[in-house]
Amino acid sequence: MGADHIGADLPQLADRFCDEMNWTAMALRMRGCGQSDGNFSLRGWVEDAAAGISYLTERPGSDQVWVCGFGTGGAVGLLAASERLEAEGDECRIGGAVIIGTPADFDDWAREPDRLLAHARQAQAVTDVDFPADMKVWQEELRGVRAATAAEAFQDRKLLVLHGLEDESVPQMDARIVADAHGSADLRLINGAGHQLRHDPRGMAILLGWLERVRRT
């Protein structure tokens, strides 16, 4: 999949949140994807997610912000949310998070950074010939984004961990690891479902139903 297609259908899901739940929703296209400037960097994606959270929390009338991410986006979104929670404590306006088909860590990527960089260039997520300026720093960013660690820091907020039992990209054990790290996460495993849960009616029904329920508590 080329970088221009990554997250291309998220605006449709955001529209669904607006229509069915009467929420304000924002779909992010991370740096290096779609029309977004920049080159793929996992820490950069965390910063992009943090900027999106800040934008929503600063909007007039916003009482809470809920973070939802798919795959890699789930990990970077949860880390951005947990870092904000650690910085702001009880004043933090993040109500909770949902991660879907999300890896517990990216250690496999970090073990082969050259291969990952080559793939990112082929997908056009990295376009600058001199990027990254420091390969070791770029590699360490891969090790530093850990959904399991972020979930542990996020334990004061609600968390839904949603995963397909037939996920061909991320083993179901990753979902269990993240849920266990949080301690009280709502873990939902969908029988027969693969990685692309945003195209699975069961996954979206669970997501929307969970958000509708928890916002009332």
Task: Residue 14: give its domain's CATH number.
Answer: 3.40.50.1820
pLDDT of residue 163: 98
Q: Regarding predicted confidence, which is higher, 28 or 59?
A: 28
- pLDDT above 70 for 1: no
- Neighbouring C-alpha atoms within 13 Å toward the C-beta of 99: 36
- Neighbouring C-alpha atoms within 13 Å toward the C-beta of 87: 10
C-alpha distances (whole Å) from 90 to each of 47, 80, 134, 147 are: 22, 16, 37, 22
C-alpha distances (whole Å) from 54 to each of 41, 122, 163 are: 20, 32, 27
Domain annotation covers residue 52: yes
Average pLDDT over residues 163-175: 97
- % of the chain exceeding 90 in pLDDT: 80
Is the backbone peptide bond immediately before 132 cis, with ω within 30 degrees of 0? yes
- pLDDT above 70 for 93: yes
Domain annotation covers residue 128: yes
Residue 167: give the domain boundaries. 10-214
pLDDT of residue 59: 85
Q: How many domains does the chain contain in total?
A: 1
pLDDT of residue 160: 98
| pLDDT, mean over the chain | 93
pLDDT of residue 17: 87
* Residue 25 buriedness (CB in 10 A; 0-12 / 13-18 / 19+): middle
Angle, nearest 10°, between helix axes 42-57 and 135-144? 60
Domain annotation covers residue 1: no
Domain annotation covers residue 163: yes
Domain annotation covers residue 3: no
Average pLDDT over residues 7-19: 87
Domain annotation covers residue 49: yes
Nearest to 91 by CA among 125, 57, 48, 141: 57
- pLDDT above 80 for 61: no
Contact 13, 42 (CB under 8 A): no
Q: Among 5-9, 15-19, 112-116, 123-127, which stretch is predicted with the lowest mean pLDDT?
A: 5-9
- pLDDT above 80 for 4: no
Domain annotation covers residue 191: yes
pLDDT band at 30 (very low <50, low <70, confident <90, very high): very high
Domain annotation covers residue 5: no
Over residues 100-159, the pLDDT tens digits come to 999 999 999 999 999 999 999 999 999 999 999 999 999 999 999 999 999 999 999 999
pLDDT of residue 134: 97
